[in-house]
Chains A and B, each alone.
Chain A
Amino acid sequence: MPSATARPRKYIHAVRETLAEEMEADADVVVIGIDVAAGSVYGATKGLAERFGPERVMDTPIAEAGVVGAAVGAAMAGLRPVVEVMYMDFISVCLDPIVNQAAKLRYMTGGGVRIPLVIRTQTGGGRSSGAQHSQSLEGMLAHVPGLKVFLPSDPRDVADLLRAAIRDDGPVVFVENRRLYNSPTPDGPWETLPPGRARIVAPGDDVTVIAWGRMVGDALAACQDERLAGVGVEVIDLRTLVPLDLETLLASVRRTGRALVVHEAVEGFGPGAEIAMRLTEELLYEIEGPIRRLGALQAPIPYSPPLEEAVLPGPASIAGAVRALLDD
């Protein structure tokens, strides 16, 4: 039996075990989505149907707009649905219930309704999944007032943030990264942080790298690049885009004087631009040079491996971008 304090073996186990714990703790928590009873495409809901029955682990037709819309209505009427949207790209076929309904109904009713809804989805480029199964659309979602956006990189944060998302009385988009599903839980001490608190995963005094999801690991890998030998790189895992922990970022960049925001989402009009600007507004006269961004190129994610590699950021391009910052 998993418990709240047990250490999940891998990222995917953290999803599954946290769902089970929250379903155990609260009969109003229901899991809804395509293939969820069968365990869902990457196994995140495996075993839940057997344990909690088809009435709480509900398979749906492939009809995301209707399913997410129904989940919003169910949340308004007292359930705590966790609805799975199989790929983040498919968010675009159910934008109305997310953008116009879930995000706005609490506000439009003058606070008259709670919408305790979690939309679990996953993204992750680099697997030749093509342009409709590889997008990172978190910036688009974070742009909409009313939506919270969580993007854990560490299995322990998967558990902590998914629990927080399910217990939240408003809509949360919970973005998993499929290329992290098999990553094991690291050893070492762990401090549970609430949403809206960033985590410093590597301390350093020369430059700050802000990342989330799979880019956290790539940023840590970039620190080993020979171009950064002897450089104190502070890597921050943002964990949640909304709420945004500007305080931790400001404290770090004020100390290092330089910052790079890295994300898998395309760079143009992306979340990195917002974060860089928010920091610049506060720190313009305290920093050594412009705060830079590194995202995917402004292109649909291509299929062919060398093309896809050219579009996505990775340890080498992160190291290059950090080096360029230092050499500015």
Chain B
Amino acid sequence: MIATELDTLAGDLRAMARIRAFEERVARYFREGQIPGFVHVSIGQEAIAAGVCGVLTEDDKITTTHRGHGHCLAKGADAGAMMAELFGRATGTCRGRGGSMHIADPRIGILGANGIVAAGLPLAVGAGLAALRQGTGAVAVAFAGEGTVHSGAFHEAIALAVLWRAPVIFVIENNRFSEFTDSDALWRGAPLIERAKAYGLTSAERIDGNDVIAVRASAAAAAAACRAGEGPVLIEAMTYRIHGHYEGDAVGYRDAEEFAAAQQRDPLLRSAATLEAADRAGDAQAALDDAATEMDAAVAFGLDAPYPDPATVLEDIYA
């Protein structure tokens, strides 16, 4: 690898390390009862968020899922404000109205995590349509899990995106599980990328979602195609959900051998190993250390932040 490629990889590792450090703290503070509700973390899936968002600009839009912290961080959301949101505080990204499952920052193109499976896909198609009509050159990315692809909204969103040639990248993170169920057990018929091609997408490819170099390359090609008016595009990124569906899930359905093998494919370890082999071990360590420092500060900011004033509870319902 040449130096600039290693620089890019080091940058992507920083992005992944930030997500990992954020999610580890979310899991911990949830366990300790300081984060209310329920949370879904993306540990093990960081390369997809980092690689895809790494090729986006602030004008580009993303929609994501209940497992969306990583996408928001990689797209530029402030970690302290996100942590404050999870703690339910007034200075949170959504002023404490959204929480983990609805975290969003529309000002920087994050149209939000979503508590409804597949709901973000049509939203992203609409954002792509707006980019087309307004000639902004922006693209929209819909992050979704493989559990999404049997829903009507998935079908309708892809059909509309193809019809409108909307600049939309459908990023399907295949993390093996639809909530508590083996996704393969819910599948008959052609693989996803075959289905996707049948809709008329210009490109649909399955990639190793734990290889951030591959993710970035695929996303860069997808974004370029969309910006050139050749969208929409689908990427199926194969990964593995290291934690349960939600924090507290005992994961009794998970195969121990498969899990152990998946841990060996950890996207952070792989990137760090590549950097070490190129004599850039210092970059890898700095990425992890800086992420830990940043996320400790984010937690402190979140815990110090005030709760919202109940007198404001009826604000921002109607325009």
Question: A residues bordering B, Cβ < 8 Å?
Answer: 28, 30, 55-56, 58, 60-61, 63, 65-79, 81, 96-97, 100-101, 105-116, 145-146, 148, 168-170, 242-243
- A170-B318, A243-B318 are contacts. A110–B95 as well, Cβ < 8 Å? yes
B contact residues, range? 35 or more
Can you give 13 A-B contacts (C-beta < 8 A)?
A69-B125, A70-B123, A72-B126, A76-B126, A77-B129, A78-B134, A79-B129, A81-B126, A101-B116, A106-B317, A111-B315, A112-B94, A113-B106
- A73-B130, A115-B319 are contacts. A108–B125 as well, Cβ < 8 Å? no
B114–chain A nearest beta-carbon distance, Å:
8
Total A-B Cβ pairs within 8 A: 161
A170–chain B nearest beta-carbon distance, Å:
3
Binds A, one of B152-160, B223-231, B278-286: B152-160
Question: B residues bordering A, Cβ < 8 Å?
Answer: 61, 63, 92-98, 102, 104-107, 111-112, 114-116, 119, 121-131, 133-134, 140, 152-153, 155-157, 159-160, 163-164, 315-319
| Residue pair A65, B97 in contact (C-beta under 8 Å) | no
Closest residue of B by beta carbon distance from A93: B152
A314–chain B nearest beta-carbon distance, Å:
34
Interface centre among B119, B126, B140, B156 (most CB of A within 10 A): B126
Closest residue of B by beta carbon distance from A103: B317
- A30-B133, A110-B92 are contacts. A66–B160 as well, Cβ < 8 Å? yes
* Cβ contacts under 8 Å, A169 to chain B: 319
| Residue pair B317, A112 in contact (C-beta under 8 Å) | no
B53–chain A nearest beta-carbon distance, Å:
17
B162–chain A nearest beta-carbon distance, Å:
11
Closest residue of B by beta carbon distance from A32: B129
Closest residue of A by beta carbon distance from B116: A100
| Residue pair B123, A108 in contact (C-beta under 8 Å) | no
| Residue pair B119, A100 in contact (C-beta under 8 Å) | yes
* Cβ contacts under 8 Å, B318 to chain A: 146, 148, 170, 242-243
| Residue pair A73, B124 in contact (C-beta under 8 Å) | yes
- A76-B127, A108-B98 are contacts. A66–B156 as well, Cβ < 8 Å? yes
* Cβ contacts under 8 Å, A73 to chain B: 61, 63, 111, 122-130, 140
Closest residue of A by beta carbon distance from B90: A110
Closest residue of B by beta carbon distance from A171: B319
Given contacts A56-B133, A60-B160, A96-B119, 19 further A-B contacts (CB under 8 A): A63-B156, A65-B152, A66-B125, A66-B159, A69-B125, A69-B126, A70-B123, A70-B126, A74-B129, A74-B130, A78-B134, A101-B119, A111-B315, A112-B94, A113-B111, A114-B319, A115-B319, A146-B318, A170-B319
- CA of A113 to CA of B110 in the docked complex: distance in angstroms? 10
| Residue pair B111, A66 in contact (C-beta under 8 Å) | no
| Residue pair A74, B160 in contact (C-beta under 8 Å) | no
* Cβ contacts under 8 Å, A65 to chain B: 122, 152-153, 156
| Residue pair A69, B157 in contact (C-beta under 8 Å) | yes
| Residue pair B153, A112 in contact (C-beta under 8 Å) | no
B71–chain A nearest beta-carbon distance, Å:
15
A82–chain B nearest beta-carbon distance, Å:
13
Interface centre among A61, A100, A108, A168 (most CB of B within 10 A): A108
Closest residue of A by beta carbon distance from B101: A108
Interface centre among B122, B128, B134, B155 (most CB of A within 10 A): B122
CB-contact partner of A69 in B61, B122, B128, B317, under 8 A: B122
- A66-B156, A110-B93 are contacts. A71–B119 as well, Cβ < 8 Å? no
